[in-house]
A and B are shown apart, each in its own frame.
Chain A
Amino acid sequence: MKPPNFDYIRAESVAEAHAALAEYGGEARVIAGGQTLVPMLSMRLARPKVLIDIMHLAELKDIAAKGDALRIGAGVRQAEALASRDVAEKAPLLAAALPWVGHAQTRNRGTLCGSVAHADPSAEIPLVLLALGGSVALSSHRKRRSVSAADFFTGMMSTARADDEMIEAIVLPAKRPDTSTAFQEFGRRHGDFAIVACAAVVSPDGITFAVGGVADKPERRDFPALDGSPLDDAIDAFAWELDAREDLHATAPYRRELVRRMGRATIEEARRCLA
């Protein structure tokens, strides 16, 4: 299992990365931490002609808390975000999910934006981005644009990114004082891909509930501030609406049942912290 041949470009500015993406488009891939891309290369699931390394760009390495948003650059590694006070304070849902992303040894190199770029249906960071109503900052030699997480994830390992665009950052709205969040995951072993992962954002007025690992992309629903059996019914209806996958890890009915039980537990955990 060795990667196929490719040219390797070490970009020294964002403009250079844009130029290389403009030249090669779909035949180029951006590499940051490489924790998803390198195994895809080794398994020959990806065969780019050119890799563009963006990890030498200082301007992409920031976690910036500005006003009521948290912007995490494409060069920020998962372990750095996990150690960040801004992430803990402004995005506690992300801080709760990060320990579930791979293992400590892969979080030391993997980036948040890389996980978002690959859009694995069981990945935790895309789920958190969707649950919080965050967005993806894309740029190319043509223009910059921001795409909401709801529009960015379009299916199994596919996104709204154009071939000549790169992700510069993800942007998360900072936690409001009247909300509370929780994250739960079920897998075969801590650090394995999620069979089901649940994220909840609750306020006195309502519930945002999102699940990963079930359909071909993370899915989200907004409920009013339900309780008791009406809440169970709402989660059950959501579970039936999900186009649940079957694979060797779990059947579709099993995944739906996890959504019902973990969904309820995740929402209740978030509410316990609402006080």
Chain B
Amino acid sequence: MPRLSAERRHRVRFTLNGSAVEAEAEPRMLLTDFLRHELGMTGTHVGCEHGVCGACTIEINGVPARACLTLAVQADGATIRTVEALAPEPGRLSILQEAFRRHHALQCGFCTAGILMSLDNYLRQRPNPTEENLRVFLGGHLCRCTGYVPILAAAMDAAKRLREVPANA
């Protein structure tokens, strides 16, 4: 039975945005801190650290989840996607990211990485969302700048464009 001592750092390996990565973590290290401090992937933001604000949302094994409610050691062997995976190439934004820019769906940007990760997954599962679907789904995210209206507009616009160009998702 694998037992990881509190006092030591332990190797954690998983697939991050398509590449195998590994680093060391104490059992108590949150996945947010592991991504940011051990792997240098600072796109995932740390907000409330108790699962309420949604800023740290990433994809774990194909579904959106809170990185701050996950221990790094729990993620060993998982497949993880973070906001860094969204842009198809440096200097180019994804359709969803472009829609956020066009609709001014962000101001300070703190909540944005989490919202993008939730929406990216949701629009793949449900390419034809209603605004009501999106309102309920985005209930899992807090934004203090935008008032949410531009975020909804960007999401609806992105959904429409993604339906037109599905291969470019």
In Å, the complex CA distance between A106 and B4 comes to 26
CB of B121 to closest CB in A, whole Å: 9
- When each residue 75-110 of chain A gets 1 if its CB lies under 8 Å from chain B and 0 otherwise, what string results? 000010000000000000000000000111110110
Q: Which of A19-73 contact B (CB under 8 A)?
A: 20, 31, 34-35, 38-39, 41-43, 51, 53, 55
Pair A5/B6 contact, Cβ less than 8 Å: yes
Q: If the complex has contacts A1-B49, A5-B7, A189-B139, are A105 and B66 also in contact, measured as CB distance less than 8 A?
A: yes
How many angstroms from the CA of A53 to the CA of B4 in the assembled complex? Answer: 11
CB of B51 within 8 A of CB of A8, answer no
Complex Cα distance A274/B134, Å? 32
Give the interface size bracket for B toward A.
20 to 34
Q: Are A7 and B71 in contact (CB under 8 A)?
A: no
Instruction: Tell me whether A7 and B51 are in contact in the complex, defined as CB-CB below 8 angstroms, given that A38-B70, A53-B74, A105-B66 are known contacts.
Output: no
Task: Please determine whether A7 and B63 come into contact, CB atoms closer than 8 angstroms.
Answer: no
Q: Are A12 and B69 in contact (CB under 8 A)?
A: no
Does residue B150 face the partner (Cβ distance < 8 Å to A)? no
CA distance A77 to B30 in the complex (A): 20
Chain B 118-143 interface mask (CB, 8 Å, partner A; 1/0)? 10001000000000000011011000
Q: Which chain A positions have C-beta within 8 A of B73?
A: 8, 10, 53
If A2-B30, A5-B7 touch, whether A103 touches B140 (CB-CB below 8 Å) is yes
In the complex, what distance in Å separates the CA atom of A13 from the CA atom of B117? 34
How many A residues face the partner with a CB closer than 8 A?
A: 36
B50 with A43: CB separation less than 8 A: yes
Complexed CA–CA distance, A8 and B1 (Å) = 10
Which residues on the A side are within 8 Å of B63 (C-beta)? Answer: 79, 108
Q: Which of A12, A34, A35, A189 contacts B71 (CB 8 A)?
A: A34
Binding site for B on A (CB under 8 A): 1-12, 16, 20, 31, 34-35, 38-39, 41-43, 51, 53, 55, 79, 102-106, 108-109, 189-191
Known: A8-B73, A12-B2, A106-B51. 18 other contacts (CB 8 A): A3-B71, A7-B3, A7-B27, A9-B2, A10-B4, A10-B73, A34-B71, A38-B68, A39-B50, A42-B50, A53-B73, A55-B74, A102-B51, A103-B140, A104-B64, A105-B64, A108-B65, A109-B70
- Chain B residues packing against A (C-beta within 8 Å): 1-7, 26-28, 30, 33, 49-51, 54, 57, 60, 63-66, 68-71, 73-74, 118, 122, 136-137, 139-140
